[in-house]
Chains A and B, each alone.
Chain A
Amino acid sequence: MRNRNIPRTRLKSPAFREKAPLPWSYLIVVAACGCLLATGFFLAARQHFISMEFGIKNSRLRKQLEDLESEKRRLILAREVSLAPFEIKRTARNLGFREIVKMPFQNVVTATKAKAGALKSAAEIPAAISGKLPSVRMSSVQKPIRADYAEPVKKPAAAAKQAKKPDGSKNKKERIEITAIATLR
């Protein structure tokens, strides 16, 4: 009867081991695992550096966004500054415009008198100007000429006298100016 059990001492002997060949499948698996690991490390490193790149780009874009936001604010502010009435007034003055000086309150005339005066003044407006500005003419004719505040030293009697005063050359000039002011307004 043949003994099927191989003694352990025989397996461990160098002679037996030398003869035992390395299994190719085992080597291939090890190599594949090694390759996989190396590829994994490589991909991870690549991802890391890509993410770093993205991070840097992201940071730059964020900075750009902040800069644009602050630039937008600056532009809005500049627009508001240029639209501010005081700035418009200053610019207008620099351009040679004159500020409207309101007439004293006590120079208020009756609508009838104003109408008469205004009609006269309207007649004095050069045809060229009046033709260009029909709306202005209308308003100056229809609106009683009046202004806002009492000139302290002026007495009412004097004001009434002034209102009744016939149109001199000075008054004509003033009325034309008032019409022009109305145009601007």
Chain B
Amino acid sequence: MAVRASSKSNLRQTAFTRFTLIVAILVLWMGGITVRLVHLQVNQHEWLKERAIGQRQDIKRSKMPRGTIYDRDERALAMSVTVQTLYADATRIDDVKSAAKIIAKVLDSKEAAIEAQLADAKAVEKRFLPLAKGLDDETVQKINKALEDPSIRKADLPKFEGLHWREDQKRSYPYQKLAAHIIGFSNAEGIGQAGIEQSQNEILFGAIIKKLQERDRLGRVYDETVSEKEIPKDIVLTISTSMQYHAEQALERAVKVSSAKSGIAVVIDHKNGEILALANYPSFDPNKLNGITPQNLTNRAIQSVYSPGSAFKLVTYGSALERKLITPDGEIDSGNGTIEIAKHKFTDSHAIGRVSYAKAMAHSSNVCAIKTSIRVGKESFYETVKKLGFGRPTGIELPAETGGIVRSPGTWNGDSLASMSIGYEIGVSALQMASAFATIANNGVRIQPHIIKQIRQSDEQVVPLAQPENTQVVSAETARDLRMMLKQVVIAGTGKRAQLNGYSSAGKTGTAWKFDEKLKRVNSAKYVSSFIGFAPAEDPAVTIAIVIDEPKVGGRDGGQVAAPVFREIAEQILPALNVKPEWSIEQEEAIEDIPEAAGIGNASNIDNNNVNAQAKPENSKVASARPETSIESKPESSDKKPEKPKMAPKEDKAKTESSEKGFGEAKSKGQVKNKSSPEIKKDKT
């Protein structure tokens, strides 16, 4: 019994010893692991973490495509496309020489230069060395194929150690020069530098997005986190590509034919204030900015001011009509075609005697306009000028718009009112003039001109825009009278060349001497010729302003240089706007049979036409349906001198210099006295 008990006790002892040994080994093993883990997780924590993230995560920065600019017909005017940049991570290239040899061969560039670049980058541990930029997909594929190294295990292309692709954006302007001043351009960083690109940069800007990619051991991306950024919006403009093209072509031809310095054309849909075309010449191609001069870049339609000349008589007669001081049929005596205001003599190109206000405007009489402005008075005239939007920017969504130059009555000289009534001593932009005429065309309601029709998000949702300002500037009656007077300008006045085929038109010519910086006075050899009008005359659909700067060859006044451009643009644009012709060609031919006795050019006939125009609109169509007859019957009108305020020869040079200063030029105090001539007083009474 005792032996059995003893053997049992030994067995237990052995088992216990073995158990203890195993436990001890396990404890040691686990202890070792614990120590190692503590070492790794405490001492080498940062290094290991970085290494793990580096192996697993990849941060890629790319740029969202900049927003697209469309025209009103959804034609893309400016668009960004993705291009690739091949860059080298120099720290990953071991053999610089052999790498440079292969890269140079693929990129067709100099091996030595690439080798030097790589060596320099490697020395400073540069991880981004661009080797080729702006490559399209086709080129990228060719390069990938050429650089493929089967021994390289890499998930991304190119399969070449140390070389990578980076996505970039390239801005393209498919219509090249078309509407270049409106669209503008952006720089290499995707920041707008001119035009809509600049003014709407925040909306169009393609932000840099950060993509956090999780990769497996083979480098394949299995998870991606994109940092949230607002997606750029697209902008739809009010301009029409086809209308813009017509306007630009017509303007370019006119500038070239007249050897002018530059030209401007503005086309406005006055019913809603939308700009249908805004052309400048000379222009530029936003795709090729090398060698561009500031002259080419200037958007003269909104950034330059000029003296409007006789086109500003619209404001003069408008303010008088609004205050019921005159009627279109009322008569005014222009006397001998000369008037003296504050020792400054203003003359007409030809004396027209006692005529109706409509004829006075048609013939662009300076004397009549000055007399009318004196009846209106300084304050009232200034009020109308301001109401029509002069002296402040129109608010169009384009950068660097000028407000023009309009001095307050307190700073005016004795002859300032007279000068301003005929479009001197005032600086306006072409857009302001177009807007003023558009107001008259729109029954006296001024709608703020604008060029952005829509702003769209990426999901096609439209961002609500503020409604353009809508102001009744003059009464509908005044606007109608003015339209009728402007129609006479085209039928029987200085704007005959603006007569359209199939449509009636109305407008006003303007020719102004330019201020010469060198001479410090206006230069009678330099003109700004303009024609601003609308069509059809009765129910206008479109307002067009044409300004030609310094025409040198041929006729120089607005009726000769600018009116044909108006006609060309209007004749092409009106059918595009679905405006039905007011009369057919057959009717036109039938009218030709009417004897010349009822023609245009005779003073008494003009007034008859004027009356007829009011009483029977169809008769006015008859009258305006004879452009060719009127032009040919009085060809000498082409050689007519510009309708300018002329200094009498007896005026001394000093007076000439001081009184013929351009706008914004303060005159000497000695000449500020406002001495109305007896003739004016007579007229006023």
Q: Which residues of A contact B (CB under 8 A)?
A: 14, 51-53, 55-56, 59, 62, 70-71, 73-74, 76-77, 80-81, 83-86, 102, 105-106, 108-112, 114-115, 142-144, 146, 148-153, 156-157, 159-160, 163
Taken together as a complex, chains A and B put the C-alpha atoms of A109 and B628 apart, in Å, by 6
In addition to A70-B65, A80-B174, A85-B175, 17 A-B residue pairs with Cβ atoms within 8 Å of each other are A51-B222, A52-B216, A56-B222, A59-B213, A59-B223, A73-B79, A77-B79, A80-B79, A108-B632, A109-B628, A112-B592, A142-B586, A143-B585, A149-B257, A151-B554, A152-B258, A156-B636
Q: Given the complex of chains A and B, what is the CA–CA distance between A52 and B216 in angstroms?
A: 8
Query: Are A150 and B628 within 8 A (Cβ)?
Result: no
List residues of B (93-148) whose CB comes within 8 Å of A's CBs: 136-137
* Alpha-carbon distance A73/B232, docked complex (angstroms): 15
Are B222 and A55 in touch, CB under 8 angstroms?
Answer: yes
Residues A148 and B560 in contact, CB atoms below 8 Å apart? no
Residues of the A chain whose Cβ atoms lie less than 8 Å from the Cβ of B555: 150, 152
Q: How far is the CB of B403 from chain A (nearest CB, A)?
A: 33
Known A110-B629, A112-B592; judge A85-B245 contact (CB<8 A).
yes
Query: Are B585 and A142 neighbours in the complex by a CB distance under 8 Å?
Result: yes
**22 residue pairs A–B, Cβ–Cβ below 8 Å:** A55-B223, A59-B213, A59-B220, A73-B65, A73-B79, A74-B82, A84-B175, A84-B176, A85-B178, A106-B635, A108-B627, A110-B628, A111-B592, A111-B626, A148-B250, A148-B254, A148-B567, A149-B257, A149-B258, A150-B257, A152-B258, A152-B555
* Residue B406, interface by CB 8 Å: no
Q: Are B174 and A77 within 8 A (Cβ)?
A: yes
Residues of A within 8 A of B567 (CB): 148
How far, in angstroms, from A77 to B222 measured CA to CA in the complex? 33
The 10 A-B pairs at the shortest CB distance, nearest first, are namely: A156-B635, A152-B554, A55-B222, A80-B174, A70-B82, A59-B221, A142-B585, A152-B553, A81-B174, A149-B257
Number of B positions contacting A (CB below 8 A)? 56
Which residues of B have CB within 8 Å of A77? 76, 79, 81, 172, 174
In the assembled complex, which residues on chain B have CB atoms less than 8 Å from the CB atom of A74?
A: 81-82, 136-137
The chain B residue sitting closest to A75, CB to CB, is B81
Contact of B50 with A by CB under 8 A: no
Give the shortest distance, in Å, between B119 (CB) and chain A (any CB).
34
Smallest CB separation, B149 vs chain A (Å): 22
**Residues of the A chain whose Cβ atoms lie less than 8 Å from the Cβ of B224:** 59, 62
Instruction: Tell me how far the C-beta of A116 lies from the nearest C-beta in chain B, rounded to whole angstroms.
Output: 11
Question: B8 to A14, Cβ gap below 8 A?
Answer: yes
Min CB distance B575 to A, Å, is 12
Asked if residues A152 and B628 are in contact (CB atoms below 8 Å), the reply is no
CB of A144 within 8 A of CB of B258, answer no
Q: Which residues from chain A contact B586 at a C-beta distance below 8 Å? A: 142
Query: Do B82 and A73 touch (CB < 8 A)?
Result: yes
Q: Give Cα A102–Cα B254 distance, bound, in whole angstroms.
A: 12
Q: How far is the CA of A159 from the CA of B636 in the complex (A)?
A: 12
Chain B residue contacts of A160, Cβ below 8 A = 632, 635
Q: Is B588 among interface residues, defined by CB-CB distance under 8 A?
A: yes
Contact B629 A86 (CB under 8 A): no
- Listed residue (B82, B174, B213) with the most chain A CB atoms within 10 angstroms of its CB: B174
Q: Does B324 contact A (CB under 8 A)?
A: no
Residues of B within 8 A of A55 (CB): 214, 221-223
Q: Is the CB of B80 within 8 A of A156?
A: no
Residues in B with CB closer than 8 Å to A157 are 635
A76 touches B214 (CB 8 A): no
Q: How far is the CA of A114 from the CA of B631 in the complex (A)?
A: 14
Q: Does B638 contact A (CB under 8 A)?
A: yes
Smallest Cβ distance from B546 to chain A, in angstroms? 12
- Which residue of chain B has its CB nearest to the CB of A80? B174
Contacts of A114 in B (CB 8 A): 628
Q: Do the beta carbons of A142 and B589 come within 8 Å of each other?
A: yes
- Residues of B within 8 Å of A85, CB to CB, are 175, 178, 245
Within 8 A of A (CB), among B520-572: 553-555, 560, 564-565, 567-568
Contacting residue for B589 out of A51, A73, A111, CB 8 A: A111
Residues 560-598 of B at the A interface (beta carbon under 8 Å)? 560, 564-565, 567-568, 585-586, 588-589, 592
Chain B: which residue is nearest A51 at the CB level? B222
Which residue from A62, A111, A143 sits with its C-beta under 8 Å from B629? A111
